[in-house]
Chain A
């Protein structure tokens, strides 16, 4: 079955860019929406956005100016870039899949990103 694995730096300096990649294994990246969600320590879940295999994107308006999600179908990967980070961006970042109308049925294990100098 499809599995997702996040990767990227665990520590990012304030004002810099957070970059994470999610690798899709056990299935094709085609035909689904690919999602990023984050969870600050001790808090709830926040939707960041999605990318489709054709490159179409949708972002949470609260973060839209700082977030870019892209896809590399040749590598079965999709990525998250968030610029101008602050301590408030410290969180566990999850990637997930939505097959369309079925909610987020597959999740990665999550990766903790700390924003600190």
Chain B
């Protein structure tokens, strides 16, 4: 089973600032099948990025994903107040699918 580690645990930034979230895998993720999800309080997760860098339908272009192998990054170029959420990475290239523990983004 692939273990995913996310850092930092919590990120506190002001609107307009850039957020950089990291996800590291314990072994290489097949086909770079790494996804990012946003979960707002009381809501289901929402897919932001699949295949490490492909934005899902309807996701604003301020969200971008990069990386390959074992190291992946989600960048939010200009934070907005509605970006308050927990962000999870997930690998779905190796069985079983696993999720990281999440990064909480707080807006100052």
Contacts and interface: CB of A to CB of B under 8 A. Distances in A.
B72 interface: no
Interface string A20-41: 0000000000000000000000
| A interface bracket (residues with beta carbon within 8 Å of B) | 20 to 34
A62 B56 CA distance: 30
Contacts of A109: 44
Determine the main DSSP class of B at the interface with A: loop
Interface string B23-60: 00000000101010100000011110011000011000
A61 B1 contact: yes
Give the bracket for the number of chain B residues in contact with chain A. Answer: 20 to 34
Interface in A57-113: 58-62, 94, 98, 101-105, 107-110
Interface string B90-108: 1010011111111000000
A61 B96 contact: yes
A46 B98 CA distance: 7
A94 B97 contact: no
Given A101-B51, A102-B50, A107 B44 contact: yes
23 contacts: A44-B99, A44-B100, A44-B102, A45-B37, A45-B45, A45-B88, A46-B99, A47-B96, A47-B98, A47-B99, A101-B50, A102-B50, A103-B47, A103-B50, A103-B90, A104-B45, A104-B47, A105-B56, A107-B44, A107-B45, A107-B46, A108-B44, A109-B44
Interface of A: 44-47, 58-62, 94, 98, 101-105, 107-110
